[in-house]
Structure formats: structure tokens, C-alpha cells
Amino acid sequence: MSRKPGNSCLHILAEGADSILLASLLPSILEISSAELESNSTRGYSPLGTAIVSGSIEAARILLRYGADPYNSRPKRRAHALHCCALYPSKMAVELAKELLSQDPQCLEARDDEGRTPLHCAAFREHNEMVELLIREGSKLITYDWEGYTPLGAAVSARSIRAVKQICNALRRCHLPHTAW
């Protein structure tokens, strides 16, 4: 019997930032069903995705430590945890992004269901600290999503002036064309 999407105990604990309660209940929950760690909330996030969009860095760390799949943070969108960090600007998101990148450098170029990389998402949301981090870590500047946009195109389409400037400066430093789409 498959469970319909809904907010599980893990989603509620991850969202509420009660990391002590989460850490104490997680082993018992996983003993009953390890699938809970990857379950889909009513908003379409796994518990890890819920922790990230709620700004609960400790909850995110705990979930990762217990085996949450960072490539399943938003299951229906096939989004990596780094996409969630890029889409929900905060200091916590940047801090967690650094940890994710140190554990799995390949996630820098992870694609969601629309072909967007984390840099596309950060540029679109004008998450400037994240744009800077992703560029510094070596994110591809000329890469296309399924609609044909590059990260520069995503920034232009969102009217994200500072992100446009950041990406244009990086393109200039790398002697690359200013291709938006």
C-alpha cells in the first residue's frame, strides 16, 4: 500500500527546527519505516527539503547524517538539496551549500526536472551570496536548461540585476561570450 503525500512527523520536526526532538525520534521512526526519510510533503519536499526551505540547518544536518538523500529534496522536481539552498536565500542556505559541495562536488552541476542547475536557480532568485559561491566553486557559466536559458538568461528573465552583473563579470574573467539563451 503506497502512502499519499502528506506531512509526516519528520516534515513537521524538520520545519519546526526542533533538532533535539528530531534527533531523538529519528531512530525510532526509521526503525518502523526508512521510507519516511524520503517521503513527500504536501508542498512536494522530502524532510530534508523541508528543513532547508524552513531555514533549519541543524535539522538538515541531522537528516543527512541519518542518510537522507540530497538528490531527493524535492522528489517531483528531481531537485538536489543544493537547488533548495539556491532557491531559498539565507545565510543557513549558503553554509549548508558549502557542506554539500565539500561532500559531493558533482552536485554543483545537478539538474532538476527542467534542466536547471543550482546556479540557474540562484541567479533567478537573485541569491547573490549563493551565485558567488557557485561561481567560485566552478559552476558552468554556459549551460542550458530545457527552455534554452543559461544562468545569465535566468538572471535576466528574473530582472536580477546584481546576479546579471556577477555572472557577466565571471564570463568576462573566463573570456566567455555573454550568452543568455
Q: 100-133 pLDDT, tens per residue?
A: 999 999 999 999 999 999 999 999 999 999 999 9
What would the 3-class secondary structure string for 65-134 be? HCCCCHHHCEHHHCECHHHHHHHCCCHHHHHHHHHHHHHCHHHHHCCCCCCCCHHHHHHHCCCHHHHHHH
Report pLDDT digits (tens) over 52-71.
999 999 999 999 999 999 99
Instruction: Tell which CATH classification among 1.10.150.300, 1.10.10.10, 1.10.645.10, 1.25.40.20 matches the domain 1-77.
Output: 1.25.40.20
Q: Which amino acid is at 71?
A: Y
The CATH 1.25.40.20 portion of the chain extends over 1-77, 104-181
Q: What is the pTM of this model?
A: 0.87
The x, y and z cell numbers of residue 179, run together, are: 550568452
Instruction: Tell which CATH classification among 1.25.40.20, 3.50.40.10, 3.30.70.141, 3.90.1640.10 matches the domain 104-181.
Output: 1.25.40.20
